[in-house]
A = this chain, B = another copy of it.
């Protein structure tokens, strides 16, 4: 990385005396975004953000309450400021694009506690063309060594009562549907009360919402509040003051109510504000990735994007169980062999096996510490012979480490568990954190757990193991730093199609790219080909609320380097022509273009397969049918492509006719203009192969 201290040409000070200065302004490289930091006469330090002259964040205060030393840090004198300019390009190990530009103007404002504690801080702003990141830094100093954060008091004040896409603030679950209301209409408790299928709720209060929080202003701005590089700090939720239209950081507490234990030099994660007048800029933004540190893995050659299958959905639809007791154990040798055969036949890399290990009989809901040991298969699961069988077929088994929330137990056994994987030739693990956390009193979102997820990423890397974490805290771009942490769930995923109450609404997947997925890849597990889930239990009324074509499109619209084909082999074999798209679609890309999008309505994304000339398009809609124009100008000019279009059939409808699809082939060029007709709850997936 090069980082140059430029003369302050791009940088306008409102005052010329740098030490007595009370106001600083910094702009994005393209000048569209302007951040102003002010020191009020009482000592408050505020920042505000404007985008093309429009208000994004009104003057909002910054500050902290410490529990030890017992100090409130909200009145400051400004000790000085530094600025710098960075414009660099870096290559991710894998991703949506092959290279990423990191282009920002930086401003660091040095603060001194006005109340006399002697504590010095710094607020560092990075202003990109698509948003702003800022964080607090606590330099090494005699006035502050070890300290305990009682509260962070970062405000985000809005100019109007914006439309807001929000989840209830919850310290343990981010698997809610999104609610769309005005800011003043937020009621997290009422929204959460409707969510009967979330196993563990730790609600914060009626006015608390999660980050990422998406807002849309009446004058056409899309704004996202989130965080980047969440390490050694708790997850930030937000408390809403409806009268002031202001959100304040609400950190996740630990067992005794403290928020974070830090030692100088220390810093918070980045608080991020994405803003644009084009909805498509948000899912395309690399701001959060850019605010994360570069990869810590010197040789990432062992890290491979992959597609996998597994009998996980059998458990959800009642064909099989995780536990052995009851006679329907899914992870038995013969069934796994069937999946290995299926994976080998259709070119999948891996087979995920859940329920393979002793402990599932009482794994859930008991707050039990010693649930699983991660190395003892059920007696009907012959891992050793299956490992050999899979290897011979060119397939790898994917490990499953469900912790049951008992993280102390997992941490004690992690080395042995990873060694066991190595011995079995396994290089990918799906981790799970279902249920109340042990250490008891900690939350999925508390600092201790954030540190745990980091420890898992680091230890797994030592063993050259890739991670797909479920029920972990929301991702904040850490896959840049830990590229073996391939994906996480951390949102309502496809399993909720089988949840009896709210399920997954048709709009849910049109919101994910603007919210959860800003932080990183999601193991959503798309690819369901059977829509009424009463196949093995005729009493079930749960159902998948998409068309089949939309299930295909999700492989493009929901980015992940780990993609599951989630349905049962027998369901795929009924639609092998459509299944072909899942077989073909890449999981690593050289380029991505979000062509059209409106949060909660639709998204249309095109991606170019890694190391190929071929493009793939996914388009999805909410409960409304719609026509989306698709200009093909992303294709290489002058070349001909064979397009294979997987689209909704003429009478397709998620509700009445989800399985109706049409597959057609045609030749196209960059000049071709397609119009994609999406059914209600429908979608379209296209493969473009360059001739």
Contacts and interface: CB of A to CB of B under 8 A. Distances in A.
A362 B146 contact: yes
Contacts of A362: 145-146, 263
Interface in A228-280: 254-256, 258, 261, 263
Given A146-B368, A368-B146, A440 B256 contact: yes
A259 to B, nearest CB: 12
Contact of A439 (B255, B261, B366): B255
A414 B416 CA distance: 13
A411 interface: yes
Interface in A528-570: none
Given A255-B255, A411-B411, A415-B415, A263 B145 contact: no
A263 B371 CA distance: 11
Interface string A408-436: 10011011000000000000000000000
A442 B254 CA distance: 12
Interface string A437-469: 001111000001001000100000000000000
A369 interface: yes
A200 interface: no
A572 interface: no
Contacts of A145: 362, 366
Contacts of A451: 369
A369 B255 CA distance: 14
Contact of A261 (B146, B148, B368, B455): B368
A389 interface: no
A634 interface: no
Nearest to A407: B408
A263 B412 contact: no
A13 interface: no
A148 B263 CA distance: 36
Interface string A369-384: 1000000000000000
A45 to B, nearest CB: 28
A367 interface: yes
Contact of A441 (B263, B414, B441, B455): B441
B412 A255 contact: no
Nearest to A366: B146
Contacts of A255: 255-256, 439-442
A368 B367 CA distance: 26
A560 to B, nearest CB: 30
A347 B235 CA distance: 57
Contact of A148 (B254, B367, B411, B415): B367
Contacts of A411: 408, 411-412
A369 B450 CA distance: 13
Interface of A: 145-146, 148, 254-256, 258, 261, 263, 362, 366-369, 408, 411-412, 414-415, 439-442, 448, 451, 455
15 contacts: A145-B362, A146-B366, A255-B256, A255-B440, A255-B441, A256-B441, A261-B369, A263-B368, A408-B439, A411-B411, A411-B412, A412-B414, A439-B440, A440-B441, A441-B441
Closest 5 CB pairs between A and B? A439-B439, A255-B441, A255-B255, A146-B366, A256-B441
Given A369-B451, A411-B412, A439-B439, 13 more contacts: A145-B366, A146-B362, A146-B366, A146-B368, A254-B441, A255-B255, A256-B440, A263-B368, A408-B408, A439-B440, A439-B441, A439-B442, A441-B441
